[in-house]
Structure 1
Amino acid sequence: MTGSGDPAAADGSDRRDGGRFGAQKIVYAGGSLGGSVALVTAADPATGAAGVISLSGGLDGQEQTVKRLTVPALYVVTEVDTTGVTDLVKDLHKATPKGRSTLAVYPWRAACRRDVP
């Protein structure tokens, strides 16, 4: 969110500091549907994304979107995701241009541990 409160201006066009302070690179990230939105946003060269992180995100047919990624992508999912996207996330990882994608699949039990800080 920018100073104007306009999330559409998250590209830095509303920076009041003239670019002297703040983020120099943007990595888009989101979980579930937000992960899908992050992938779409990062695949658009006009956003100037430096990378994308998708946590259990992805939509059917989004393979064509991730094929356009020119930035590093991290996909994170559990072995048995309760939303049923485990296989879809793996497919998106495979569809992402070679060398641009990392897939982290965690055991469901490890994701639910309460003793991990």
Structure 2
Amino acid sequence: MYEAARVDGANVLQEFWHITLPMLKPALAIALLLRSMDLMRYFTKIFITTGGGPANATKIIGFFVYEQSLRFYNLGYGSALGVGMLVVTVLLGMFFVETIMGGAGDNE
């Protein structure tokens, strides 16, 4: 494909934009999806190192779910927050599949 693009008169930037980047889209989408899901579950390192940090500086949603559920025994609210995290993670996954990969998984 690169040789055909050079024959057609494409420069390096056009080769990257129209050949290389579309070929890398599935790998980039999977990497971004996994990293964004990891950010939602980044609990253990914060819990071990800072415990929420000075003045809640490093408190993330996962740590807040833990506190509400297991520290303050507010199990209903903690469960609702956990389900909310699940919904956000699923929506992020759908966003990455639809926008970055262009709906490549659709059989239409």
TM-score by length of 2: 0.26
TM-score (norm 1): 0.24
For the pair shown, which has the larger CA radius of gyration, 1 or 2? 2
Structure number with higher strand proportion? 1
Normalized per residue, the structure richer in helix is 2
